[in-house]
Amino acid sequence: MNRMDQNKIMEFGFLPENNSYETEGFQITPLENFHDKLNKLKAEGLIHDGWFYPQCEEPRRGHKSPVKLPKIPLRSFSLDPTHKIEFKNGTAENEKKEFLINVFGFTKELKLIR
């Protein structure tokens, strides 16, 4: 992707729908590998009944213990981008792209980030 294209496009997600949206100034479309990303999360059991779940990790310990502790969910996690926003006429500042992504996410009841 050349520098001009980078100013026109921003990837974001995670949005589990394969729909496109278009206005006069920009369009939102799924990435080419959308289905791969969605299927991977479903196969790992991280999506269930409309909820997204974090992966689990071993708890941190300050000492060695012979007792095996249960895994716990990650405190902070992110999911791979699934969509992109692309401006048709010229470029847009990152702040504008992020604002539109946040507003779009609000309408979907999701926190969408780049």
Mean pLDDT of 50-70: 74
Residue 20 domain-assigned? yes
Residue 90 domain-assigned? yes
SS3 string, the chain, reads CCHHHHHHEEEEECCCCCCCEECCCEEEEECCCHHHHHHHHHHCCCEECCEECCCEECCCCCCCCCCCCCCEECCCCCCCCCEEEEECCCCCCHHHHHHHHHHHHHHCCCCCEC
Say if residue 97's pLDDT is above 70. yes
The per-residue pLDDT for 4 is 47
Residue 54 domain-assigned? no
User: Which structural domain range is residue 81 located in?
Assistant: 1-46+75-114
As given in the structure block, the two tokens for residue 7 are: 């100013």
Residue 91 domain-assigned? yes
The per-residue pLDDT for 84 is 95
The per-residue pLDDT for 80 is 86
Residue 64 domain-assigned? no
The per-residue pLDDT for 5 is 58
Residue 13 domain-assigned? yes
Task: Enter the pTM of the model.
Answer: 0.74
| Whole-angstrom distance, CA of residue 27 vs CA of residue 60 | 44
Residue 55 domain-assigned? no
Count of domains forming the chain? 1
φ, ψ for residue 49 (rounded to 5)? 55, 40
Residue 51 domain-assigned? no
